């Protein structure tokens, strides 16, 4: 699917027959060349290009600003980055809290194993995504999971189930083998599953399961915008 484009108005290109030798140099030619120069300048810089109506020539970005903000075509190539993060470290004696207990940041540095199938941790992220152009397969329309995890012993099978808060029936799942047993944790970046994202506030869930006996410790996870122009 080709990326969407703005309407033709100020960006109307000329065709070769209009600009070649023996073509008449009419007002449309100079209007298009001059108008498009203004459009490009204003869209690039976000600054007033002067001229016609003292109005922005270009559409506002989805965030309501003048120019391009790299929120995905046609507002510029998107830039990869995390949309939300969650993380922790090992419980170690060298980090302590006020009450003398060992530091345990927080979140998800715990083990899950099939031998205790009541432990199927669900992470919930409430996060803000800046407004973006909404169309099928736009860069910000999807968020992809990244995980850092360790095996308790040998090869373990880790499964992740993802769903968005406003669409609990659309669960997507993937599994992987976790083989690393010593710090630092092993990467997992499943490419076949993703959350849908909407502009503004979102809620994402991910449930982890370990289907083998020894278990997996998950230390960090994130949801990410991973492409520049289209999925």
State the pairing for strand pair 186-188/142-151: antiparallel
Count of residues that interact with another protein, criterion CB under 8 A: 129
Among 1, 55, 168, 182, binds another protein (CB under 8 A): 1
Cα–Cα distance for residue pair 7/154, rounded to 1 Å: 57
Query: Could you tell me how many residues make up the chain?
Result: 231
To the nearest whole angstrom, how small is the minimum distance from the Cβ of residue 37 to another protein?
A: 4
Q: How far is CA 127 from CA 130, 188, 204, in A?
A: 10, 22, 8
To the nearest whole angstrom, how small is the minimum distance from the Cβ of residue 193 to another protein?
A: 15
Query: Given the rule CB under 8 A, which of 38-46, 155-163, 171-179 is the region that contacts another protein?
Result: 38-46
To the nearest whole angstrom, how small is the minimum distance from the Cβ of residue 78 to another protein?
A: 8
Window 95 to 134, contacts with another protein (CB under 8 A):
95-100, 103, 105-108, 110, 116, 118-131, 133
Query: Given the rule CB under 8 A, which of 40-48, 154-162, 164-172 is the region that contacts another protein?
Result: 40-48
Among 65, 155, 167, 179, binds another protein (CB under 8 A): 65
Decide if residue 152 touches another protein (CB under 8 A). no
Window 72 to 91, contacts with another protein (CB under 8 A):
72-90
Q: Beta-carbon neighbour count of residue 166 at 10 Å? A: 10
Spell out a b/e string for 129-138, using b for 16 or more CB atoms within 10 Å of the CB, else e: bebbbeeeeb
Identify the burial level of 36 via C-beta atoms within 10 angstroms of its C-beta, where 0-12 means exposed, 13-18 middle and 19 or more buried: middle
């Amino acid at each position: 699917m080709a990326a969407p484009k703005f309407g033709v108005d100020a960006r109307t290109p000329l065709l070769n027959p209009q600009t070649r030798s023996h073509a008449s140099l009419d007002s449309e030619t100079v209007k298009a060349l001059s108008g498009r120069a203004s459009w490009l300048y204003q869209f690039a810089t976000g600054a007033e290009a002067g001229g016609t109506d003292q109005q922005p020539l270009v559409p506002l970005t989805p965030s309501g600003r003048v120019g391009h903000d790299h929120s995905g075509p046609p507002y510029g190539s998107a830039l990869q980055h995390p949309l939300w993060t969650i993380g922790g470290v090992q419980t170690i004696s060298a980090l302590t809290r006020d009450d003398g207990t060992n530091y345990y940041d927080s979140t998800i540095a715990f083990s899950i194993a099939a031998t205790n199938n009541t432990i199927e941790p669900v992470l919930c992220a409430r996060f803000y995504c800046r407004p973006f152009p909404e169309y099928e397969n736009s860069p910000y329309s999807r968020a992809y999971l990244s995980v850092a995890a360790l095996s308790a012993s040998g090869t373990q099978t880790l499964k992740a189930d993802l769903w968005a808060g406003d669409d609990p029936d659309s669960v997507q799942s993937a599994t992987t083998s976790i083989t690393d047993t010593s710090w630092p944790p092993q990467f997992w970046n499943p490419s076949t599953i993703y959350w849908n994202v909407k502009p503004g506030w979102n809620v994402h869930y991910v449930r982890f399961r370990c289907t083998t006996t020894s278990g997996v410790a998950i230390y960090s996870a994130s949801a990410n915008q991973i492409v520049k122009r289209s999925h």
